[in-house]
Amino acid sequence: MTDRRSRKALSRRHSRTRQVAPRTHWLLLSVLAVTLSTALLLQGYTHHMFRITSDAVTGPRGRSDTVPAQVAHGGPVIANAATSAHTAKVQARTIALTFDDGPDPVWTPRILDVLRRNHVHATFFVVGTQVVAHPELVRRIVADGHQIGIHTFTHPDLARLAPWQRSLELRETQLAVAGAAGVTSALLRPPYSSENDALDNADWSVLQQADAAGYVTVLSTQDAEDWQRPGADRILANATPHGHAGQILLMHDGGGDRSQTVAALSALIPRLEAHGFRFATVGASVGMAGPVQPAGLGDRLQGMAFIKVLQAGDWVVWLLGVLMYAAGALSVLRAAVVLVAAHRHRRSRARCRSRSWGPPVTEPVSVIVPAYNESAGIEAAVRSLLASDHPVEIIVVDDGSTDGTADLVESLHLPVRVIRRQNAGKPAALNTGLAAATYDLVVMVDGDTVFEPDTVRTIVQPFADPRVGAVSGNAKVVNRGGLLGRWQHIEYVVGFNLDRRLFDLAECMPTVPGAVGAFRRRALLDLGGVSDVTLAEDTDLTMALCRAGWRVVYEEGARAWTEAPASLNALWRQRYRWCYGTLQAMWKHRGALVQRGAAGKLGRRGLGYLLLFQVLLPLLAPVVDIFAVYGLLFLDPVRIVGLWLAFLLLQLMMGLYAFRLDGERPGPLWSLPLQQFVYRQLMYLVVIQSVFTAVSGSRLRWQRMERYGSLQAPTGAKAPGNDLPAQDPGLSQWPPHHSGPQPAPYDPLPQPAPYDPLPQPAPYGGLAQPPQPPPHPGFRQPGPYETQQLY
């Protein structure tokens, strides 16, 4: 009764921890993505679709037969263009100073100072983007008694835009003015306009649409041509009227260097006043009543919000630019670090080979194979281990499989110990194998992995150094067919293996992969066995060994062939578990950051590297993609493509060098450009999902990994003393590998004589127990709680 209650309590406890990862963050990310995209599109349109350029004619003038004669030969102020058009002329001896393309933070204040000194009022036709950037200048213009006019939002040629774009240009500018200064204006000057007789049919359609929106168009009668920067004297001459007729004088306070305009204006006003001219705003010069009015509350609030949104867009683009440069710098830094480290690692290993690790390690090895529903590949894994050229004890721990994994192994009648237990997860299965292991050197291998004949012998040689507590082998992808297989093959060789060389050189190896790793059994027992508090038990275990003072090394010659996920869904689930488990392990061992010795190397080197390049850099990767799209649409696409090709070339160089170190043919690297458009996005989305899950405090549940049966069972693997014929499922060769001579098919290999015969299993579960080592006080045998584990 008590046991039943305990099991129920454990079941309730684990039902609470087996929560489904939260989905709210995907909704938040979607909203953020839409908001960011909208902000970038708006910012890109307002800042890069059109630019303030000179007032030179933008194209050949078209027909003008629809322009009324009274407009073509009338005054510069045009009203009622959509109905009964009429114009107004400036009063005699009156000059209406007008300034286009501002406000500018440098030149507008200087022009305002000149006007204030001379007690002159003018009209400023402002560009919306400049208003958003410098709203305080618009407020000063209004406060000084000057008039505000509209000069569109992005300074395009309105005649070349669709009607909806024209409306958008005018409405956005009006909102910006309302938000900045609390006023609205009925005055409009279309960009690139000049005098009445220059109007063509397209221009007239613009004026008609503007009139329907409530605008009065203001052209010019005299152009100072300061946009050409001909010199202050020439501007002064161009701006001086001939005769006594009133003029609307076109000048500029923005769009470039206006120092000549400021100098000419300082001389122009006194000169014209001396000749009897007076200065007035456009409205006053033609007798127009109140073209500028206080904005309504709604327009003012909308305008203020509009300005804030656009300013936030500017800030976002600036931040994205900074983050993109940071991501680029991190990518270049990582490439330089791993390439230099790989070169030094290769040279150091070449020197060490002449001396080796020490005396050859010949003692037998216990190989632990945790298995949960591994019937698709367990036979191939076991037979590859039996074909080892090093004496091995093979222990298959069946963790409550439901597909007959244990029965299959026992039916092979091979010298393999099968231990059955209730489903409790991979760490529990490994601890069971540790408890049953006979020898001090232990190799752990996943049930979806096959070894080469020399893998066990090679991976245990570093244990000749008594400081070594664990050895990472070289895991390779066996199912390389298709793009997904090639991409994972590239990642294993270029990403994982280059990093392991760096970690080995820096003595801060954070992970011995579950697919192929060797350990000192007593070192693991000192730690209390394999912990189950994280989902990345291999990373957690390796970090614990480093903190305990053991050295963890990488042996690239110990190759194992593992089955990689064959679908995006399966790959997502696998990498999600890896990433989330790594974050758990990093947090668990964060104390290493302030420790000394081997633990300090792990903390400051290993954890720092993982945080910088495996967490922060993937989180910055979306910024690169977003900014690349933004750049293609609104910036220089040639430059953007050039930068992308430069980074691709950098990755290709890393790939070629990594493939050379691993003895691989570089053929799969042709798919590297395609990898940037699918695989890379999947990987950084995995990191984002993992970070959100970790920050939210949720517990990721274990999942079942799909098996595809792509592993091939070895040919002719036959145990000594076993009279049963060897099974031959038809493995003809290893997956292509080219670092040296290819291993022959699995012919029967004689076991070395000096070793005691390995214990033979009794049929179907009756185990002949080997001599057990004395109990270790720190070892903790896991309890039989039930939860499906991912292997």
Tell me the HSE value of 264 on the side-chain side, using a 13 A CA sphere.
26
C-beta contacts of 319-323 below 8 A and 24+ residues apart: 320/40, 320/623, 320/626, 320/627, 320/630, 321/627, 323/620, 323/623
Query: CA-CA distance, 768 to 415, in Å (whole number)?
Result: 11
Q: How far apart (Å, rounded) are the C-alpha atoms in residues 495 and 478?
A: 17
Catalytic residue among 100, 157, 211, 299: 100
CA distance 51 to 127: 10
446 is catalytic: no
For residue 253 the two structure tokens come to: 């306070």
Best CA proximity match to 97, nearest among 155, 149, 53: 149
Q: Residue type for 656, please? A: L
485 secondary structure, DSSP code: H
Tokens in use for 756?
Answer: 């005691």
Indicate the SS3 state at residue 118: coil
Q: Which residues are paired to 99 by β-bridges?
A: 124, 251
Question: Tokens 């090093």 sit at which residue?
Answer: 390
The answer to whether 486 and 480 are in contact (CB under 8 A) is yes
DSSP 414: -
Q: What is the 3-state secondary structure (H, E, C) of 306-332?
A: HHHHHHHHHHHHHHHHHHHHHHHHHHH
Selecting among 252, 345, 390, 489, the annotated active-site residue is 252
Give residue 530's identity as a one-letter amino acid code: V
Place of tokens 């292509």: 736
Task: Look at the block and give the residue holding tokens 């006003």.
Answer: 269
> Cis before residue 752, ω within 30 degrees of 0?
no
Q: Are strands 216-218 and 77-79 parallel, antiparallel or unpaired?
A: antiparallel
Quick count: other Cβ atoms within 10 Å of Cβ 20? 9
Q: How many CB atoms lie within 10 A of CB 398?
A: 27
Query: Could you give the 3-state DSSP secondary structure of residue 399?
Result: strand
CA dihedral in degrees (70, 76, 80, 82; nearest 10)? 70
Does 25 participate in catalysis according to the annotation? no
Q: Catalytic residue positions?
A: 100, 252
